[in-house]
Structure 1
Amino acid sequence: MDAGTGGHALAGHCHCGTQDHGRAHGCFLELYGAALRMGRFDWDLDTGLMEMDATAHEVFDVRADEYDNRPETLAFRVPPVEAHRLDEIVSHALKDGSVVYGAYFRVRCRDGTLRWTHTQGHILRDATGRPHRIVGIVNDATRERADWLPGERADEEAERRRTTSIVQGTTAALAHARTVRDVIDVLKDASGLAHLGASNLVMGLVEAGRIRLVAEGPKGSYVQGTRLTRIDEAYPMSEVVRTLAPRYIETPEDFAASYPLLWPHIDELGITAAAYLPLIAQARPIGVLGLLYQDKTGFPDEERNVLVALGSSIAQSLQRAMFYEQEKDLAQGLQQAMLPRSIPGVPGAEIAVRYRSAALGRDIGGDWYDVIPLPGGRVGAVIGDVQGHDTHAAAVMGQLRIVLRAYAAEGHTPATVMARASSFLHELDTERFATCLYAEADLSTGVVQFVRAGHLDPLVQLTEGSCRRVPVDGGLPLGLSAEFGRLDYPVTTFELDPGQTLLLCTDGLVEEPGADLDDGMRAVTELAATGPRDLQKLADRLCGIVDGRGGDDDAALLLLRRRLIDAPQSGGRLQQHVAPSDPEALAEARHMIRAAVRAWGAGERADEIELVADEVITNALMHTDGSAIVTLRVLTGTDRRLRVDVEDSSSALPRRREAGESGVSGRGLLLVDRLADVWGVDARGSGKCVWCEFIVPARNAR
């Protein structure tokens, strides 16, 4: 049987179990109790009522009209820790068959001081052993302080340790608070300050000569009109800010007399005492903490010292949180300014982008994405990561993004764009380097040219939903390639079919501490393969990895899906650089020509066009010292024509020769002349351009 909160089984010491003996014991107490300041009580366990005599009222420092014979009414006089300990003692005695029990405990008097009290009780049981009544005594134990039992001294020391533990625990929890909301959550935690007995909490921040209320609890304790108050108003928070000193309101009368405007609302909440603590940092008030109490009066010196220590710890944590939020706002503003404000609509493509800041640190980094509309139905897609996670990394990222965008818009080939961006980063005289992946896609043909600088390979989601990695040859990261003089970036050509999706990301999306990078890539690949078809939902699902994991690295994601509904249907243009003695570049050029011819509706003449283009390219590589630039485009007019231009650095014009019966050369221009509808040679500066055109039917004529 539970003794009940605040009742504490204040029962007497006796060695027999009869009701007559209990009555005789009560008479004895009536005769001598007043002289010894020993009160008597009689607790009926069946009804729950406990009668006390006048001396017992004096011991508990309650008036007769304040006590209604219910033990729980005494809770406002017995501190919670004492009540809990007494309940355990009584409950144990009732359950184990004990006849007597005794205990020391403390009572909080009207003036707020704590006074030691002692109780002894005798448990009366029926024939079955069930307890039904307790009679006993309770007396003032102040004079016994010098002769306390070692166990009672240990109880007081335990209470001191508990109070110290609350201070230390709250301080430790505040050490992990990063934001003002985190500080508030710590203070409102049921295991924190509430154990000091506070029933309500309010906290305000000082802002421009006003106090803005940022927290109150529990729900329903807000006082109308106090959300924003001036420092010169007659409120306890305002007074604390003005004086920089704590304000302890020890009685309801003190509250009503000092703050008549606030008291009617406070009285409705049942508040009898309050402590308002200034939160001071660097000799400047930054806020106020108010702790309000029910059924309590007075603040002993020991309790005031605890509250002052807590106030100091809270002020430091609050200032740190305010600085963090200011820095976070600045960092996020810089990050957003460096990233594209919006992604332009690109005909023939559906695009989704995402950026996730680091969960740790300053929430800012050097990851970026960009989408660059280019002439001829082409689009450039960029994903990159500048080394570091600070404002300097974000600043370098912003400059690099703008420069790379400018180089691409000028019409440079993907390899040239990457090389020039690397040189620019090296000339910035910064120790930072950057990884980058640049993809230039012709949405009318689906031909994509990749250039990679130390970055992750891209992924492609196929139309049926499966996803795989696209191996891309790469060079050194931007900045490093210029420093070591290795600015040659190989180009990898890939054909993107309608409905397929390119997935470009930074390592923050795939890397996890303690895990292999390849495992992370496989996880993202599997997630993309089973993800939703809607591109925006797919982007959210992929970024859910970062949202759930947290970590100290930011992440960027770019999804590009090719579609034919609004893709450019004519006027396409592709360009490929073919270096001498580079068979892979020649193979990529052939692949580009084959894909473009089919995508532009010239499938019937695909073999002819590919053969002629291959002959002209090979001729340029064999008979000149430099490289060749191959350009394919669609010309519209009376006839729809597909034109192939091959530029080289030699001014020597090609000439047609007759090949012998066993000759293996000399037939090249003959093939060009026979297969092309028209061809010719144009001078280009110190070099030339060999061109040929093929008439191809319009799409609607096929």
Structure 2
Amino acid sequence: MADRGASAPSLPEDWPAHPDPVLALNNMGSFDWDLDTGLFSMDAQAHEVFDMRPDEYDGNPGTLAVRVPPAEAHRLDTLVSLAIKDGRENYGAYFRVRRRDGSLRWTHTQGFIRRDETGRPRRIIGIVRDATEELEESESAGSRDSAALDAARRDQTNVVQIATAALAHARTVQDVIDVVTDTHGLTLLGSRSMVLGLVEAGRIRLVAEGPAGSFVPGTRVTRTDEPYPMSEAVRTLSPCFIESPEEFAERFPALWSHITGLRITSAAYLPLIAQARPIGAMGLLYDDRRGFSTEERNVLVALGSSIAQSLQRAMLYEQEKDLAQGLQQAMLPRTIPSVPGADVAVRYRAAAVGGTLGRDIGGDWYDLIPLPGGRVGAVIGDVQGHDTHAAAVMGQLRIVLRAYAAEGHTPATVMARASVFLRDLDTDRFATCLYAEADLATGVVQVVRAGHIDPLVRYADGTCRRVPVEGGLPLGLSAEFGRLEYPVCTLELDPCDTLLLCTDGLVEQPGTDLDDGVRALTALIAEGPEDVRALANRLIAAAEARGGDDDVALLLLRRRAPEAARAGGRFQQHVAPGDPEALRQARHLIRAAVRGWGARERADDIELVADELITNALMHTEGAAIVTLRALEGSDRRLRVEVEDSSSALPRRRDAGEDGVSGRGLLLVERLADVWGVEARGGGKAVWSEFRVPRRAAV
């Protein structure tokens, strides 16, 4: 309590006032508080209330602090100050006193404020009494009356809490329906049956019922202007409470005639409102109550609001998901072309992360590109990010990669040009990519890698291994940093071997190293079925079971075993001028192709002639050379080498000087090849040569 007016020395003649003896008879003590001096006088009964002996009290209100807890003293002081400030004549309050034994007792005080002729407060005279038994008796009587009400309120609150908790996990409209039609939920709500409808173009379509069979005939689809309680709730945006069978029959006779056998005694139809517009309505029918209390109405309205918000969230999620899937499918190839000599399977799995909108679309893609000469290009890639922007960048990047490959550029050039394109696309995204160009006739595969994971090969005997490919920087970054070099790795696919390209979503596992994921994937592939489609299904099923927050794109290409009477294949390579690496790769691929066609004994001759023709084209023309190697079937078996350039000038055979080497090229071609010649090709020409191959060795 506050110490007030301690500087005033004089006391009134009639102070302290003597209490009426009736107060003592009623166990009440009195006090007289002089506001000028600050002294607080108590009678003997007041000392009893505070459990304080007269010799322990000196008249200073601060001395009572040993009995009045600080929080209670602060509350009383605030109450008295406010009463004085407001000009009131009295105040009253309950507060607690801590007795000598440490127990807390409730105490009640009432004070009367005395003011002088100017209105200034001078004294407060009042009473104090022990109110513990009074409050306990009051609480005991009231608790019996309110126990049932409190229990009912707790049950109703639990309904909303349980329903809200369950709805928090609902991602789709069907998830919401499953929550509200759950038998346990109906039991909590206390309703006999429930129906849920969604508003669609001025109509209400019932989408859920609980328990099964709760739909009323003829009401599965109704207009919002029809005389039904659910329609009224949607029209008015207000709940429709029906409190008796008589009210139901009077207000909605068309519906009541169909449900009289259900013995419904009351019903509640709640509009489901989101962003100030109705998206649906829910009806709850009861057979054991009449009317709804204010608390029950509030609980039901709160429940309807929670369901409405969950439905709207689910609808938005499904719309976003449909948009994302549509965009993703539009960006990916609509069909995969049939590839002679190979079995192909592709798969795509979108990541779904915790229901986050926009996360069901990403930048992963695959592509299969038919190329001249029986070759095929296989692409797998991943644009950074999981949003529509990543998908848009992916679509553009897929198109330009396809165009560059179809133009006949080498794999390294295709990758370098795609990187420059991505850098110039005015985006901050980069992409990893792997491009493999396969000649299915020979089994020769050229692979370039831009920050992507390595390819895998499953061999005909069922074993599987990772093929290390020296790679360059991801697309976009390599152009940004001026490092457009993409080394080419050459591998060979024997008949029945399978090349596997995938994005890291197939190998990454939470809490494990990428290498561990690759090892687990190779083991899964080795144990999988031989058919590429069945194998692809198994790999995607494993990714689904594992979960993860990344997309998965997968491409499998299996080289078929050659048919017994099948003609040879075709191999083609683009060699740019001033590119010794391309020339070296061409030599290697020619030798591999010749061996693949079973003509090892003529491999040296063919490689030497092809090298001579390519060198002549690069030295004596200004453009690139295209070398083509094909197997020909006829009365005999032949391998044909063609080198095409953009010059129309025909080659001229001449003898070299005594000390010179120039001029010997065509002589070498004439000596090693069985036949050779020149063909005009549009604005250029092709120099060709053929080599007979023993029938037993040809493919």
TM-score, reference length from structure 2? 0.71
- 8 Å CA contact retained: 2:444, 2:592: yes
- 8 Å CA contact retained: 1:448, 1:495: yes
Q: 1:151 to 1:596 in 2, by over 3 A?
A: farther
Question: Quick one: which amino acid aligns to residue 352 of structure 2?
Answer: A
- 8 Å CA contact retained: 1:377, 1:444: yes
Query: Which runs of structure 2 are paired with 1:417-432 in the superposition (5 Å)?
Result: 417-432=414-429
Residue in structure 1 matched with residue 221 of structure 2 by the alignment = 228
- 8 Å CA contact retained: 1:653, 1:681: no
- 8 Å CA contact retained: 1:289, 1:311: yes
Residue in structure 1 matched with residue 201 of structure 2 by the alignment = 208
Residues 1:281 and 2:299 are matched in the alignment: no
Residue in structure 2 matched with residue 196 of structure 1 by the alignment = 189
Residue in structure 2 matched with residue 340 of structure 1 by the alignment = 333
Q: 1:257 to 1:456 in 2, by over 3 A?
A: same
- 8 Å CA contact retained: 2:598, 2:698: no
Residue in structure 1 matched with residue 98 of structure 2 by the alignment = none
Residues 1:545 and 2:538 are matched in the alignment: no
Q: 1:580 to 1:659 in 2, by over 3 A?
A: farther
SS in 2 for 1:430: coil
Residues 1:574 and 2:572 are matched in the alignment: yes
- 8 Å CA contact retained: 2:381, 2:432: yes
1:635 Cα deviation after fit:
5.2
- 8 Å CA contact retained: 1:247, 1:275: yes
Q: 1:537 to 1:622 in 2, by over 3 A?
A: same
Question: Quick one: which amino acid aligns to residue 331 of structure 2?
Answer: M
Q: 1:270 to 1:597 in 2, by over 3 A?
A: farther
Q: 1:540 to 1:574 in 2, by over 3 A?
A: same
SS in 2 for 1:347: coil
Q: 1:626 to 1:273 in 2, by over 3 A?
A: same
Q: 1:686 to 1:222 in 2, by over 3 A?
A: closer
Question: Residues of 2 paired with 1:701 and 1:486: CA distance?
Answer: 43
- 8 Å CA contact retained: 1:641, 1:695: yes
- Residue deviations 1:495-516, cap 9 Å, x none? 1111111111111222233322
1:469 Cα deviation after fit:
0.8
The answer to which of 315-324 and 385-394 deviates more is 315-324
Residue in structure 1 matched with residue 161 of structure 2 by the alignment = 168
Question: Quick one: which amino acid aligns to residue 640 of structure 2?
Answer: R
Question: Residues of 2 paired with 1:604 and 1:543: CA distance?
Answer: 45
SS in 2 for 1:262: helix
Question: Residues of 2 paired with 1:649 and 1:483: CA distance?
Answer: 33
1:630 Cα deviation after fit:
4.8
Q: How many residues align?
A: 556
Residue in structure 2 matched with residue 500 of structure 1 by the alignment = 497
SS in 2 for 1:498: coil
Question: Residues of 2 paired with 1:656 and 1:156: CA distance?
Answer: 117
Identity %: 72
CA RMSD of aligned residues (A): 3.7
Unpaired runs of at least 5, structure 1: 1-143
Question: Quick one: which amino acid aligns to residue 317 of structure 1?
Answer: S
Residue in structure 1 matched with residue 22 of structure 2 by the alignment = none
Residues 1:252 and 2:245 are matched in the alignment: yes
SS in 1 for 2:253: coil
Q: Determine which of 171, 177, 202 is the counterpart of 1:184.
A: 177
Q: Determine which of 439, 442, 460 is the counterpart of 1:445.
A: 442
Question: Quick one: which amino acid aligns to residue 271 of structure 1?
Answer: I
Q: 1:664 to 1:656 in 2, by over 3 A?
A: closer
Bigger relative contact order (CA 8 A; separation at least 6): 1
1:265 Cα deviation after fit:
3.3
- Residue deviations 1:106-159, cap 9 Å, x none? xxxxxxxxxxxxxxxxxxxxxxxxxxxxxxxxxxxxxx9974375886665454
- Residue deviations 1:303-330, cap 9 Å, x none? 0110111111221222222122222212
- 8 Å CA contact retained: 2:365, 2:381: yes
Question: Residues of 2 paired with 1:209 and 1:688: CA distance?
Answer: 72
The answer to which of 642-651 and 416-425 deviates more is 642-651
- Residue deviations 1:199-253, cap 9 Å, x none? 3111101110100111111112222222111112121111111222111122223
Question: Residues of 2 paired with 1:699 and 1:234: CA distance?
Answer: 89
- 8 Å CA contact retained: 2:503, 2:554: yes
Unpaired runs of at least 5, structure 2: 1-136
Question: Quick one: which amino acid aligns to residue 198 of structure 1?
Answer: S
Residue in structure 2 matched with residue 19 of structure 1 by the alignment = none
Residues 1:460 and 2:453 are matched in the alignment: no
1:300 Cα deviation after fit:
1.1
1:442 Cα deviation after fit:
1.1
- Residue deviations 1:180-216, cap 9 Å, x none? 1122122223444531212311110111010011111
- Residue deviations 1:52-79, cap 9 Å, x none? xxxxxxxxxxxxxxxxxxxxxxxxxxxx
1:699 Cα deviation after fit:
7.4
Residues 1:291 and 2:284 are matched in the alignment: yes
- 8 Å CA contact retained: 2:567, 2:632: no
Higher Cα radius of gyration: 2
- Residue deviations 1:258-299, cap 9 Å, x none? 322322432333433211001112221111011122322221
Question: Residues of 2 paired with 1:654 and 1:546: CA distance?
Answer: 63
Question: Quick one: which amino acid aligns to residue 170 of structure 1?
Answer: A
SS in 1 for 2:400: helix
Q: 1:495 to 1:304 in 2, by over 3 A?
A: same
Question: Quick one: which amino acid aligns to residue 238 of structure 1?
Answer: S
- 8 Å CA contact retained: 1:458, 1:470: yes
1:645 Cα deviation after fit:
5.0
- 8 Å CA contact retained: 2:653, 2:663: no
Question: Quick one: which amino acid aligns to residue 286 of structure 2?
Answer: Y
Question: Quick one: which amino acid aligns to residue 503 of structure 1?
Answer: L
Q: Determine which of 229, 236, 243 is the counterpart of 1:243.
A: 236
- 8 Å CA contact retained: 2:166, 2:179: yes
Question: Residues of 1 paired with 2:271 and 2:427: CA distance?
Answer: 46
Residue in structure 1 matched with residue 309 of structure 2 by the alignment = 316
